[in-house]
Chain A
Amino acid sequence: MTTRGFKTVGTAVRRVDADDKLSGRAQFTGDLEVAGMAFCKLVTSPLPHARITRVDASRARALPGVYAVLTAAELVNMETHYGSDKKDRPVIAIDKVRFQGEPVAAVAAVDLAIAEAAVELVDVEYEELPTVTGIDEALDGAGEPVHDSNFCHEYGYEWGDVDAAFRECDRVFEDTFEFPMVYHYAMEPHTCIASYEPDRIRLWTSAQHPFLVQAEIARLFGRQLDQVQVVVPYVGGGYGSKSYTKIEPLVTALSREAGRPVRLALSVDEAMRTVRRHAARGTIRTGVMNDGTIVARECTGYVDTGGYTDNGVRVTERFGDRMPGPYSLANVRVKTYGLFTNSTPAGSYRSIGGPQAIWVCESQIDVIAHALGMDPFEFRVKNLVREGEEVRRGRRPIEGDLEYALRRVADEFGWDSWTPGPTPPGVKRGIGFACGVTNSGASPTSTSLVRFHADGSATVYIGSAEMGQGSRSVMAQIAAEEMRIPYEKVRVVASDTTAVPWDRSTGSSRSTTLMGLAVHDAAVDIRTQVLDLAAEHFEAFPEEIEAEDGRASFKGETVAFAALVRNMFGGSGGELMGRGYVTPKHPSGKLRQDPVFWEVSIGAAEVEVDTATGEVRLLRYYSISDPGKAINPKQVEGQDEGAAMQAIGHTLFEEMLYEDGQLLNPNLVDYRVPVFTDLPHEFETVLIESGNGPGPYGAKGVGEGGIVCVAPATANAVFNATGVRISTLPLTPERVWRALHEAGQA
């Protein structure tokens, strides 16, 4: 084939879900009706830590309109525990509760009003246990541990001679930073409909990882994979909150008891007791030479994973992987620990462990630059990992030119020429910078199937959940491009385990890269078959044939792909099937190393601090996104802006507040998320396309990078403005005012 320009890749096509989503027709799980469906309400524990001494649901069961009540006693003839790494989560609390809001019983009734009434009739008695709140109490170990101990996971790695490097360096810095517990607030709270039937189990659920849910449900209830159907309709925001398995086992078990389909739609309050981001504390010791060369970093970190492991193992590890930062370091020692506490279990949230790690890393980098009298930007550049260098020993080397990316952001932001300008009395302005790299992509395993129909249209089958990121459009673009047919001719069927082939998950910025590769390969498979048919038709070699816009041509003659397919089947019907397998051994050779790719994150912030009130206003924020190749540029920007806006939340005001194990702000009035007026005056994504990703056309994932640098860039800007270093997030007016006050600045 001669070289050809892209037809749909790289263009802003109309999203395939646009018409559904802009008309009110888009169906989310809570919009579905399943015949005979009962409605579920949960009985949850008011106590954060307690032994369950008695559960009596007899009064609730006697209420007319109640089909069933699920308690631990009903968990028979099935496995009782689930979890992605450690199966420590009971389907419903057994003997003990580990956080306030943990489900103890679940009612299925004819309608919600009756279910609510029945909840009041379930009698539960508890024997209260001392509460483990926060990292210090978990480490202290006093009282009753949350599980066998309060330790969930331990992780570490080391290279070089760290102790010698610390002995020989000119200066050593040691600083500790804290990151709060935050909540995803996907606007659609978790919702699931389960139908337990004699020969199969069907679920419609707001899940990011349909195939992992399928496998978990099959294991819990002793079914074969082919007996478990998981359908994921449109998902109203995920950001990690709907990863792995959440409420599905409980709803399935309740459906089994009720003998009919059951729907559970959580409230925001209940969703805040389902999953959250890990609070974290990180301490870094850094050894530097007087010329600003970093020679050693020793990082120690703790993450608070709450009452159950959920994704605590991987978060503990990623926190450790990401903490030393994107620097060329000859000597590194990292230890991180995941700890149980009596609070909502913590799981995945956009860039797991990333914002926590980079907050610690990049805050300290600024501390050091200041102490050495260096420009914090130049200090970073001086120590940056270089292209092709291993940023973590034994892992995939850094693919791109980080210095170029940093300088691009600094230039567009106007770092060098910035001055505070005139400000009103009591108001100070400053600028701050931060950067990081995060290992992304999860595991490189996906499959896809493409059917090319006899009329020239095609259907693409993918396991990816559509939660807003636009994966269906991107897959349609890739498929159209590779089949050489118009984008409008492609439909995407997604996330129904009985219809689409297996995929590992939707998360870790992986779909465009990995599912994209599977779709690419499946579409190329179709094209190859079409070209073979064309070669036969023209009595030529496949390489001599031009294919474009659904037609094959050779020496001035053309034939439609559709006609070739029909001819193959000798009539009016027929179709071709193409398949794509993505495994670590993918023939491209690009998936052998871990991670799948490094996602680059850079942030530059300008803030205004009102020293009288402590209020921090983010005036300008510049971020970078390197999708390798932007298959749909507007969507790439949207991912970055959305991620950065979530980070503005955890930087300035978001925090789940616990007191003695009680969540104090379980609603959107008291837990504030960013609104329109929090949008900085300048909010820019610098898009670079380095073309070096392992995905199709050199693409790699985005969507997480935007969330990791906002907090350190902003706090560094506050320091630049006021000379005061704040080491705990969020930067609330009260916290900032206190810090200024203590420093004599307020």
Chain B
Amino acid sequence: MAEAQDTLAVAFELNGVPVEASVEPQTPLIDLLRERFGLTGTKRSCDVQVCGACTVLLDGAPVSSCTVPAFEVRGRAVLTVEGFAADESASPLIEAFVNNAAFQCGFCTPGMLLAAKSLLDADPAPSEDVIKDYMRGNVCRCTGYKKIVEAVHEASEAGR
């Protein structure tokens, strides 16, 4: 049953802007982002923390927003694909995805981009094996992965 729940106030930074919202304790972050803030770039697929379609960056680290409770972002910084793409620093990765045909249907792409960004932030010149290992929490059913590996490589220091 949908019983009346105590709501929690959550203040956090969303794509660089301070925001506030009230959430129920069981509300996952993805619902807060999509429904309250209209940020539908974050996608829901498996809902069990396997596919990575719902990946966002929490203080720069990738998390599955389908599983992270919304209240946990209190006082922290959340970056979604919308915030990522709006920043000029995103363009080498975005252009590398275009040049390498690293997306098809685009449903995995927001999560893929954010996972790749956090990898390149931590390791500006990852080897192919490191890319594969780091990204293994992001499923793509369309591309066969090779072109995504190539795109991440191209966007890395090693590829430039």
Chain A residues proximal to chain B, CB less than 8 Å: 12, 14-15, 17-18, 20-28, 30-31, 111, 113-114, 116-117, 120, 184-189, 234-239, 267-268, 467-470, 634-635, 637-638, 641-646, 667-669, 673-679, 683
Contacts and interface: CB of A to CB of B under 8 A. Distances in A.
Task: List the 9 closest A-B pairs by CB distance, nearest first.
Answer: A24-B41, A468-B105, A468-B104, A21-B106, A236-B107, A641-B144, A645-B144, A24-B81, A31-B40
Contacts of B99: 12
Contacts of A675: 136-139, 145
Interface in B104-160: 104-110, 113, 131-133, 135-149
Contacts of A111: 2
B48 interface: yes
Contacts of A238: 105
A370 B79 CA distance: 57
A22 B2 contact: no
Contacts of A185: 141
B139 A673 contact: yes
29 contacts: A21-B109, A22-B98, A22-B103, A22-B106, A23-B82, A24-B82, A30-B40, A111-B2, A114-B2, A117-B2, A186-B105, A187-B105, A235-B105, A236-B105, A468-B106, A634-B100, A634-B101, A638-B104, A638-B147, A641-B145, A642-B104, A642-B142, A667-B46, A668-B46, A668-B139, A673-B139, A673-B141, A674-B145, A677-B133
Contacts of B103: 18, 21-22, 468
Interface in B48-107: 48, 50-51, 53, 80-82, 85-86, 94, 97-101, 103-107
A467 B137 CA distance: 23
B132 A676 contact: yes
Nearest to B101: A634
Given A117-B1, A237-B142, 14 more contacts: A23-B85, A31-B40, A111-B2, A188-B107, A236-B45, A237-B105, A239-B141, A268-B45, A638-B144, A642-B142, A676-B131, A676-B132, A676-B136, A676-B149
B47 A26 contact: no
A464 to B, nearest CB: 14
Contacts of B14: none
A187 B53 contact: yes
Given A470-B104, A669-B50, A188 B145 contact: no
Residue among B47, B109, B142 facing the most chain A CB atoms (10 A cut-off): B142
Interface of B: 1-2, 34, 39-48, 50-51, 53, 80-82, 85-86, 94, 97-101, 103-110, 113, 131-133, 135-149
Residue among B50, B131, B141 facing the most chain A CB atoms (10 A cut-off): B141
Contacts of B101: 12, 15, 634-635, 637-638
A706 to B, nearest CB: 8
Given A677-B136, A679-B146, A188 B42 contact: no
Residue among A26, A467, A470, A646 facing the most chain B CB atoms (10 A cut-off): A26
A23 B146 contact: no
A114 B3 CA distance: 10
Contacts of B141: 184-187, 237, 239, 642, 646, 673
A643 to B, nearest CB: 8
Contacts of B108: 187
B24 to A, nearest CB: 9
Contacts of A643: 144
Contacts of A677: 132-133, 136
Given A26-B106, A635-B101, A673-B139, A644 B144 contact: yes
A541 B150 CA distance: 51
Given A113-B2, A268-B47, A668-B50, A23 B132 contact: no
Contacts of B48: 667-669
B144 A24 contact: no
A237 B51 CA distance: 14
A186 to B, nearest CB: 6
Contacts of A667: 46, 48
